[in-house]
Amino acid sequence: MIFIMAWRNIWRNKMRSIVIMLSVSIGLFAGIAVLALYKGMMRSRVRTVIDAEISHIQIHQKEFKKDYDPAYTLQAGDSIQAIIRRMKQVKFVARRSITQGMLNTPTGSAGVQINGIEPDIEYQTSQLREKIIKGEGFHSDKKNEILIGKKLADKMKLKTASKLVLTFTDTAGNIVSAAFRVAGIYQSQNAPLDEVVVYVELRTLSALLLVGNSFHEIAILLKDDDDLLFVQRELEQRFPGYLVESWKQISPETELLVKTVDEYSYIIIIIILFALAFGIVNTMLMAILERTREIGMMVALGTTKSKVFLLVLFETILLTIAGTPLGLLAALVVTGYYHKHGLDLSGMGKDMMASFGFNTIVYPSFPIEKLLAIMLLVAGTAIVASLLPALKALRLEAVKALRR
Amino acid sequence: MNNTVIDAHNISKVYNPETIPVYAVNSVHLHLARGEFAALVGPSGSGKTTLLNLIGGLDKPDVGEIFINGVDITKLSVNQLINFRLHNIGFVFQSFNLIPVLTAKENAEFIMLLQGRRKREREKRLTQLFKQIGLEEKMNTRPAELSGGQQQRIAVARALASKPQFVLADEPTANLDSNSASNLLDIMAKLNAEENMTFLFSTHDPRVIERAARVITLVDGKITVDTAPTGSLHIKHEDAHSEKI
């Protein structure tokens, strides 16, 4: 009976209740839209990190990453690579040689990280081919070609076919300089990396570093993200002498960013619901004030305080929850549309977003995994919002209320 | 077997005790036996509603004791009083005070539901009551669609549904036309006769006073005249002595 009364009571002043329900719908829609946008951005960032920058797992010699000394190559790298290739969870395996050096042109110089790659494999593993915006990339019949990032090209005033000199130290401690011709200019979604990472062919770099057929890094791209932990553990057990790291360990800032944004998104929802709670409290206080006499009569007849409290609580919860399906539906439809077609945020500053490693086209994703938490937050808001009106109702003295 | 339902001893209620004290009820003694049909009369401000509120456990006296079926309700806590009212007292208010979102039947059923009565028992009682008040056709109608007289009959049904020890009615006919008032009084008198239900109602209405078996007159918070159930009259003087005429 109390529940039925609560439901009917919210329709006593239809316009007022509908306004509150719409507020809840819009608030919830806004909150979920923000969550979906954040989720889309974070997904995009993580995908970029995995598919275009780091891959799922990297293997190095344990000492290598301390100061990128080219002497620390992966012994038996070829056989390790062969074993990894046979794992059913693995999609692509790329090997790389890496060293730090200087890029020199007649107009200036810049510190760079030189990645020696096998172009055909790298094109698949890190989508390097798709990133090339000028030039054709590596030619199999040409030597000493280099791919540089757009930002570095702009900075050093380099174009395709421009010549430059790379200077670095080989494994014997000699300073080596080699001339390269720009075979292509790439642009990734991570502008800071574009400024420092250059790509040359693995065989060229290995020869200059005097490492023979050895290399420094194995990058592994998995078929399924969910296999990450399993494959990492498997590799750690198989190759205990090497450093096997996941993208989360290599790029902790990305992991931190995802977690932080996740928490922020909850804070945003809480702020929205907190603001809505004031509207709900106001509406319920008005409803209680209007029904002072009725509540007094109910208490006079023998309605216990707990039942009066429940009546106000149910009314508030129903008023709040009634607007929830519409908000969820609107969020589902809108995020679904943009998930399919993408949301162009380049108006917010393409360069700025790129400098933080974000793609300007975001594909928002409905945060289904947060739905339960959101619903609990909505219910929590309703309960909190009901407390003040319920307290007001409980304080009513039957004899005074009946005089009104 | 003790036949007393209401036994009020020397009860007083004072408003503004520290500034200008107003004695709404002043040293009242009232004794009501089971099955009485009594009217509480007096001019406006004489303390009728306050006395009903005190007897109904809606308010507490500053002095005195009120025994309902042997229980001193002045000693009960707020929650105990709510529970006591629920199980022992039926209320009929001047302005009907039905719950607008409930149908006539649901309004009458309200107290029985609060008491946790079973559905079969509720249905049986409500069918009987709606027949008695002549509103079987209006059971599923909301109060807003009923006339004042019909609403007050529903309020009476609500008060009686749980078969309370007695019914307190505060000016039940005040907002009714003469036909509706007469009809309501017939129903209350019938229920009083059929179910031996005790009624105490405050009123200005001569039609009600005429129908009452006992008339208690209240002036300035004191009972000045009280006709006995037998029809004899007690005139009470200021010094609380009474003489039988």
pLDDT in tens, A92-133: 999 999 999 999 998 889 999 999 999 888 888 878 888 899
CA A26, distance to chain mean position in Å, is 25
pLDDT for res B232: 46
CB contact under 8 A, A302 and B113: no
Give A12's contacts in chain B (Cβ within 8 Å).
100-101
- Pair type for strands A343-344 and A242-246: unpaired
- Write down the mean pLDDT value for chain A: 87
Q: What would the pLDDT profile of A43-63 be if each residue is shown by its tens digit?
A: 888 888 888 788 899 999 888
- The least confident of A222-231, B68-77, B180-189 is B180-189
Tell me which range, A72-76, B107-111, B233-237, is most confidently predicted by mean pLDDT.
Answer: B107-111
Query: Which of B58, B79, B110 is opposite residue A399, by nearest beta carbon?
Result: B58
Q: What value does the mean pLDDT take over residues A360-373?
A: 84
Q: Quickly state the pLDDT bin for B120 (edges 50, 70, 90).
A: very high
Q: What would the pLDDT profile of B186-240 be if each residue is shown by its tens digit?
A: 888 888 888 888 899 888 888 888 888 889 998 988 988 888 554 444 555 444 4
- In chain A, what percentage of residues exceed pLDDT 90? 26
CB contact under 8 A, A301 and B87: no
pLDDT for res A354: 67
Torsion angle, alpha carbons of A145, A150, A156, A159, to 10: 50
Contact B210, B180 (CB under 8 A): no
**Backbone angles phi and psi of B67, in degrees to 5:** -105, 125
**Which tokens belong to B63?**
């002095």
Determine the distance in angstroms separating the CA of A47 from the nearest CA of chain B, rounded to an integer.
56
CB contact under 8 A, A302 and B85: yes
Give B87's contacts in chain A (Cβ within 8 Å).
302
Q: Is A246 exposed, middle or buried (0-12, 13-18, 19+ CB in 10 A)?
A: buried
- 3-state per-residue secondary structure call for A260-274: HHHHHHHHHHHHHHH
Torsion angle, alpha carbons of A211, A217, A220, A226, to 10: 160
The secondary element (H helix, E strand) that includes residue A389 is: helix A371-394
- A13 → chain B, closest CA residue: B101
**Which tokens belong to B73?**
């309700």
CB contact under 8 A, B93 and A297: yes
Q: Is A157 exposed, middle or buried (0-12, 13-18, 19+ CB in 10 A)?
A: exposed
Determine the distance in angstroms separating the CA of A7 from the nearest CA of chain B, rounded to an integer.
9
Give A307's contacts in chain B (Cβ within 8 Å).
114
This model of the complex carries an ipTM of 0.85
- The least confident of A176-185, A208-217, B220-229 is B220-229
A302 closest CA partner among B76, B124, B112, B100: B112
CB contact under 8 A, B87 and A5: no
**Which residues is B215 bridged to in the sheet?**
B39
**Which residues make Cβ contacts (< 8 Å) with residue B3, sequence separation at least 6?**
B33, B34
pTM confidence score = 0.72
Distances (CA, A) of A234 to A79, A96, A228, A390, B79: 16, 22, 10, 58, 67
Determine the distance in angstroms separating the CA of B202 from the nearest CA of chain A, rounded to an integer.
15
Query: Residue A372 and residue A80: Cα distance in Å, rounded?
Result: 44
Determine the distance in angstroms separating the CA of A224 from the nearest CA of chain B, rounded to an integer.
57
Query: Which of A293, A298, A305 is opposite residue B79, by nearest beta carbon?
Result: A305
Contact B159, B167 (CB under 8 A): yes
**Which tokens belong to B235?**
């005139």
Give B79's contacts in chain A (Cβ within 8 Å).
304-305
Task: Provide the edge-to-edge strand list for the sheet that holds B71-72.
Answer: B22-33, B4-15, B63-68, B71-72
pLDDT higher for B239 or A381? A381
Q: What residues of A are in the B interface, CB distance below 8 Å?
A: 1, 4-5, 8-9, 12, 293-294, 297-305, 307, 398-399, 402
Q: What residues of B are in the A interface, CB distance below 8 Å?
A: 53, 56, 58-59, 79, 82-83, 85-87, 91, 93, 97, 99-102, 106, 109-111, 113-115, 158
pLDDT over 50 at B146, yes or no: yes
Instruction: Name the residue with tokens 């010699």.
Output: A61
pLDDT over 60 at A328, yes or no: yes
* Contacts A–B by Cβ distance under 8 A: 59
Q: What would the pLDDT profile of B1-37 be if each residue is shown by its tens digit?
A: 458 888 999 999 988 877 888 888 888 898 988 889 8
- A11 → chain B, closest CA residue: B101
Q: Is A233 exposed, middle or buried (0-12, 13-18, 19+ CB in 10 A)?
A: exposed
The DSSP letter of residue A193 is: H
pLDDT for res B240: 42
Query: Residue A241 and residue A230: Cα distance in Å, rounded?
Result: 18
Query: Which of A294, A399, A402 is opposite residue B99, by nearest beta carbon?
Result: A294
Query: Residue A74 and residue A95: Cα distance in Å, rounded?
Result: 10
pLDDT over 90 at A199, yes or no: yes
Query: Residue B12 and residue B28: Cα distance in Å, rounded?
Result: 7
A358 closest CA partner among A55, A49, A41, A38: A41
**Which residues is B223 bridged to in the sheet?**
B218
User: Biggest alpha carbon distance in chain A?
Assistant: 100
Helix A252-290 with A14-47: angle, nearest 10 deg: 180
Torsion angle, alpha carbons of B205, B211, B215, B218, to 10: -10
Give B158's contacts in chain A (Cβ within 8 Å).
301
Give B88's contacts in chain A (Cβ within 8 Å).
none
Query: Which of A298, A302, A399 is opposite residue B83, by nearest beta carbon?
Result: A302
Give B114's contacts in chain A (Cβ within 8 Å).
301-304, 307
Give B82's contacts in chain A (Cβ within 8 Å).
299, 302-305
pLDDT higher for B194 or A88? A88
Query: Which of B53, B102, B114 is opposite residue A302, by nearest beta carbon?
Result: B114
A149 closest CA partner among A53, A70, A59, A218: A53
Q: What would the pLDDT profile of B132-142 be if each residue is shown by its tens digit?
A: 888 888 889 99
**Backbone angles phi and psi of A364, in degrees to 5:** -60, 145
**B120-139 as b/e: b if 16+ CB within 10 A:** eebeebbeebbebbebeebb
